[in-house]
Amino acid sequence: MFRKLLSLDEAKEKISRRFKPKPLGVEQIPLLDANRRVLAEQIVSPIDVPPFNRSTVDGYAVKAEDTFGADEANPARLRLRGAINVGELPNIKLEKGETAEIATGAPLPKGADAVVMMENTEKQGGTVLVYRSVVENENVMKAGADIKKDEVVFTPGKRLTWKDIGVIAALGVKTVKVYRKPRVAVISTGTEIVAPGNRLPPGKIYDINGYTLSASVAECGATPLNMGVVSDDYQQLSETLREALETTDAVITSGGVSVGPRDFIPRILESLGGHELVVHGIAIKPGKPTTVALINGKPVFALPGHPTSALLTFHLLVRPFLAKLSGISGVEKTFKTVKACVGVRMFPAKGRRTFVTVKLVREADGRNVAYPATTGESGAITTLAKADGFIEIPENQQFIDAGEEATVHLFEV
């Protein structure tokens, strides 16, 4: 039974045509809890930031023109009207020839348009000598110079960083609307897979994918629900899938998709009501048997059981999908990339787009060099654990030669 495999681009296109992942609703949360959450509203500044013309130094507020021509030999002499501290509304209005002491961050008094730094002045009783001229707005941050009232500061779809949190706080905003985090079920299957914590019968291995995929889901900003290992018992797997589809927004399985009598995930998916098999095999290496279905509108990503394959297909297909479901805009920029020299010649598999997991090494000369992190399909988890990302080799390329520069897509979110 042969079928023409979809190319990766065709698979992606088909998935995005069939699923239109939309954010899952909005919740209002304290700004303090909004780090790494995805903004669901436009943030428009209700105020000027700073809210007033503020001094950026300790010194004397002046009318700039009163200082013109002042120098060490010919200081300007200004009458001291008082002092303005931070947090105070100045009740002074400077007239020509007058000055007021002012602290860093304090509002300029009326009539002042510049500040002379303390070190360029000398106080003599009620008079301040100014030894250096200043121009208008010197040492002053104007009201709204940073953010203007009614300025759009952030738009929906921005995943907030700790720095953005500071910007929103500066506007006086205390709560923000964010998109609900997607809940994602993670199910491991396979005759040979045993959940950690259990005795390991001969011939079996412990589940890795359930753990790496759950942690990766969390890194993407979604909430993983690890449903453990389901042996490839048709009935049990079918029930677990039903339960997962009822309680979560998307389901990831690993294992059970290769061609083989026990690899029956595609058959189970077909047996569930309201199914549509969107992708059944992709011309990529690794990850060829990857299967994607839509069950009553909810996606099931059935990834291969090999840890490297599961991880790569997660990053290629599931991660951008989760980003869209999380409401993140600009999903195409989901991957951080770095340029690196390739450490050894890398070949693509014939007719399949090939992904080589690589470890980045900084050489003594400062170059980033990417070395393959897994040798063939050996599935060594310790080498996979050293992988920083992957290099993509197009179907039609003969090889990437040692020393050539390539783009490394990082696993890091």
> Of residues 87-116, which lie at the interface with its own copies (CB under 8 A)?
87-90, 103-107
Tokens read off for 112 = 């002042």
191 binds its own copies (CB under 8 A): yes
Please, which residue, 80 or 145, has the CB nearer to its own copies?
Answer: 145
Distance CA 287, CA 401 (A): 23
Size of the site for its own copies (CB under 8 A): 91
Alpha-carbon distances, residue 352 vs 355, 402, 409 (angstroms): 9, 21, 18
303 binds its own copies (CB under 8 A): no
31 binds its own copies (CB under 8 A): yes
Distance CA 367, CA 257 (A): 40
187 binds its own copies (CB under 8 A): no
The dihedral sign for the CA sequence 177, 183, 184, 186: positive
168 binds its own copies (CB under 8 A): yes
Q: How far is the CB of 226 from its own copies (least distance, A)?
A: 5
Q: Which residues pair with 284 in a beta bridge?
A: 353
- Identify the CA nearest to 209 among candidates 8, 392, 379: 379
Q: Which of 13, 122, 150, 377 binds its own copies (CB under 8 A)?
A: 377
Distance CA 94, CA 82 (A): 10
Q: Which of 93, 174, 333, 345 binds its own copies (CB under 8 A)?
A: 174
307 binds its own copies (CB under 8 A): yes
DSSP 277-333: EEEE-BSEES-TT-EEEEETTEEEEEE-SSHHHHHHHIIIIIHHHHHHHTT-S-GGG
Q: Which of 85, 236, 247, 271 binds its own copies (CB under 8 A)?
A: 85
152 binds its own copies (CB under 8 A): no
Stretch that binds its own copies, among 17-25, 70-78, 130-138, 256-264 (CB under 8 A): 256-264
> Of residues 263-302, which lie at the interface with its own copies (CB under 8 A)?
none
Rounded to 5 degrees, φ, ψ at 361 are: -125, 130
Q: Which of 29, 44, 169, 402 binds its own copies (CB under 8 A)?
A: 169
Q: Which of 272, 361, 381, 410 binds its own copies (CB under 8 A)?
A: 381
Please, which residue, 144 or 157, has the CB nearer to its own copies?
Answer: 144
> Of residues 312-331, which lie at the interface with its own copies (CB under 8 A)?
none
DSSP 209-225: HHHHHHHHHHHTT-EEE
What is the contact mask toward its own copies in residues 210 to 249, using x (rule: CB under 8 A)? Answer: xxx-xxx-xx----x-x-----------------------
